[in-house]
């Protein structure tokens, strides 16, 4: 793609030669003479002077230091993502149902949808226009897959799962399994039936091996444009607000509510029945033990240190209460 054409498709201005050919994208330190790269973080600015890329997506103030053409952007990372999408090669998925798929007679599959090999679709479920159900997926009873969704492979929708439009689910994810509902009676656990479902809004993405349990009575809800990384656990009746993103191995306990535009770091945990307001950032490996009512960045835990020093500090942690009483 000629840089001038690429700039036009992205709505960006070119500084330098706009006739260079762009054949792909690459990181700034490894980009060659036919590749597009980007500079978003100022700490990597030193690499700009030595890049051999054909062009770079960058802020206007970085253009003078670039040895190549520049696509001027107010958000270089976002515009680079849009550019990279133009070079992504996706496999063609022909409409139709693979002969090895098993589709219940009461289910409906739109004629423009693709249902791959070894797929199972249960009673009263529906697959919307243009959706892709990849190999080995299992869609249980009373599920709805909206238009333009993609279930990559081995995705399981257990029961009463409703996906909006353009939802992307990566391999191994399980939506709609039983929530962890138990009542203790006479020395033994009694299972509480999970009678709700899972509702996923438009444009959500759910990572590989992530699990989202169905609600006990109501639904577990993801609003639109929620992004979940791999290996995340979302318990029953959790509600996650629009545009929130969660990194890998984080977990949310039952009936917690997370607001909109939140960022949850990797390995973070949120206890049940708590509320996190809009625009909150939880840093990695933090444990949220109380509701958060003000936007901002929150952390918990102790930083990594030498083991001998950590052991001494751990002893002092146990003495804090005694020291506090002495100070009164």
Tokens of residue 100, six digits: 């090895």
Do 235 and 217 touch, CB atoms closer than 8 A?
no
Helix (H) or strand (E) holding 205: strand 205-206
Tokens, residue 170: 């990566």
Phi-psi region of 267 (alpha: psi -120 to 50; beta: other; left: phi over 0): left
236 catalytic? Reply is yes
Largest CA distance in the chain: 79
Cβ contacts of 223 within 8 Å, gap of 6 or more: 201, 239, 240, 241, 242, 260
Question: Which is it for strands 69-72 and 13-15: parallel, antiparallel or unpaired?
Answer: antiparallel
Other C-beta atoms closer than 10 Å to the C-beta of 302 total 10
Query: Would you say 242 and 260 are in contact if contact means Cβ atoms under 8 Å apart?
Result: yes
The CA distance from 42 to 35, in Å, is 21
Measuring CA to CA, which residue among 222, 217, 167, 160 is closest to residue 193?
217
Distances in Å between the Cα of 306 and the Cα atoms of 162, 182, 302, 303, 310 are 49, 41, 12, 10, 6
Which of 236, 243, 273, 290 is flagged as catalytic? Answer: 236
Active-site annotation, residues = 236
């Amino acid at each position: 793609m000629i840089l001038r054409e690429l700039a036009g498709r992205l709505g960006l201005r070119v500084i330098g030669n706009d006739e260079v050919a762009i054949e792909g994208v690459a990181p700034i330190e490894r980009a060659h003479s036919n590749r597009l790269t980007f500079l978003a973080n100022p700490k990597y600015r030193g690499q700009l002077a030595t890049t051999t890329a054909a062009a770079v997506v960058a802020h206007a103030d970085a253009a003078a230091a670039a040895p190549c053409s520049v696509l001027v952007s107010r958000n270089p990372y976002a515009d680079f993502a849009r550019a990279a999408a133009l070079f992504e090669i996706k496999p063609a998925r022909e409409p139709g149902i693979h002969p090895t798929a098993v589709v219940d007679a009461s289910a409906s599959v739109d004629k423009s949808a693709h249902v791959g090999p070894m797929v199972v679709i249960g009673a009263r479920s529906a697959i919307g226009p243009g959706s892709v159900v990849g190999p080995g997926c299992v869609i249980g009873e009373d599920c709805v897959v909206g238009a333009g969704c993609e279930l990559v492979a081995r995705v399981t929708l257990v029961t009463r799962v409703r996906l909006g439009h353009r939802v992307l689910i990566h391999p191994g994810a399980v939506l709609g399994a039983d929530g962890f509902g138990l009542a203790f009676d006479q020395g033994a656990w009694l299972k509480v039936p999970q009678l709700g479902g899972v509702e996923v809004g438009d444009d959500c993405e759910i990572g590989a091996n992530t699990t989202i349990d169905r609600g006990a009575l109501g639904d577990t809800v993801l609003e639109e444009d929620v992004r979940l990384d791999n290996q995340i656990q979302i318990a029953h009746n959790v509600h996650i607000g629009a545009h929130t993103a969660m990194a890998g191995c984080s977990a949310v306990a039952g009936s917690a509510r997370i607001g909109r535009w939140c960022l949850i770091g990797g390995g973070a945990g949120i206890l049940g029945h708590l509320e996190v307001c809009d625009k909150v950032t939880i840093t990695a490996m933090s444990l949220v033990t109380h509701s958060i009512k003000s936007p901002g960045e929150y952390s918990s835990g102790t930083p990594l240190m030498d083991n001998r020093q950590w052991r001494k500090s751990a002893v002092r942690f146990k003495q804090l209460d005694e020291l506090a009483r002495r100070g009164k």
